[in-house]
Structures are given as structure tokens and as C-alpha cells.
């Protein structure tokens, strides 16, 4: 079965500092990978996704992620944190054996941005 591990359930960064959220996955074939953001009491919003092609993927709100097959990682970064980035972030992978696009999510990383 596929799995997603997010290191660090909570991350605290200063405004203007680098945001780095770690995601590692397990998959026996090339995966499709997603990062979603969840603001308090809201649904999930897609930040970016990797399917094929360029391994550095740019998303909304200045976020980007790099697919590294050798490390089975898909870490999310943003060069300069903004107060509005405070939210919970989820990494997800498509289930290769399922019909449609059944997603397996990591446990989430809650980001706190300090002024």
C-alpha cells in the first residue's frame, strides 16, 4: 500500500523566513503527488501537483515543490513566509491501484508564522 509521511506535525517560522515542509512517499511506480493547504474551518485547496515532466513544480502563493525520485521526496518550500501562510498543509499521492484519483494523505503539518 502507498503511504505518505510528513516530518513535523508543527512548524514555526518567522515572517520573511524560508518555509520548508517535508514529504516522503512510498510507491512502487512513478507517483502523482499533490500539496494541499487547509485554512481553519475550510476545505482543502490545491497548491500544486506533480504528474510528469519538470521535477520542480511551481504553485500558487509563491510555493514550489521538487520531486526527487532517488529520495522519494516531494518537499514544499516558499522563500519568504507571510502571515497569511499560517495554515495546515497536506501532502498526498494518487493510489496507483485505484480507479479515479483516490488520494492518500500525509498526517499534515501545521504552520505557525511569527511576526
Partner 1 sequence: NAGVMQNPRHLVRRRGQEARLRCSPMKGHSHVYWYRQLPEEGLKFMVYLQKENIIDESGMPKERFSAEFPKEGPSILRIQQVVRGDSAAYFCASSPTTGLAEPRTDTQYFGPGTRLTVL
Continuous segment of H or E residues that includes residue 10: strand 10-14
CA distances from 48 to 55, 57, 101 (A): 12, 7, 15
Q: How far is the CB of 49 from partner 1 (least distance, A)?
A: 7
Stretch near partner 1 under the rule CB under 8 A, chosen from 12-20, 65-73, 76-84, 103-111:
103-111
Q: Is 25 in the site for partner 1 (CB under 8 A)?
A: no
6 vs 73, beta carbon nearer partner 1: 6
Strand boundaries in 51-94, DSSP class E: 56-58, 64-68, 73-78, 87-94
* Interface with partner 1 (CB under 8 A): 32, 36, 41-46, 49, 51, 90, 94-96, 98-108
Amino acid at each position: 500500500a502507498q503511504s505518505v509521511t510528513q516530518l513535523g506535525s508543527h512548524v514555526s517560522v518567522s515572517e520573511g523566513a524560508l518555509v520548508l515542509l517535508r514529504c516522503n512517499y512510498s510507491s512502487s511506480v512513478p507517483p502523482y503527488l499533490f500539496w494541499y493547504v487547509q485554512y481553519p474551518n475550510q476545505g482543502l485547496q490545491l497548491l500544486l501537483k506533480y504528474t510528469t515532466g519538470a521535477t520542480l513544480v511551481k504553485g500558487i502563493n509563491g510555493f514550489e515543490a521538487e520531486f526527487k525520485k532517488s529520495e522519494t521526496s516531494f518537499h514544499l518550500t516558499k522563500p519568504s513566509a507571510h502571515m497569511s501562510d499560517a495554515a495546515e498543509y497536506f501532502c498526498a499521492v494518487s493510489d496507483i491501484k485505484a480507479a479515479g484519483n483516490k488520494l492518500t494523505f500525509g498526517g499534515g503539518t501545521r504552520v505557525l508564522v511569527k511576526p
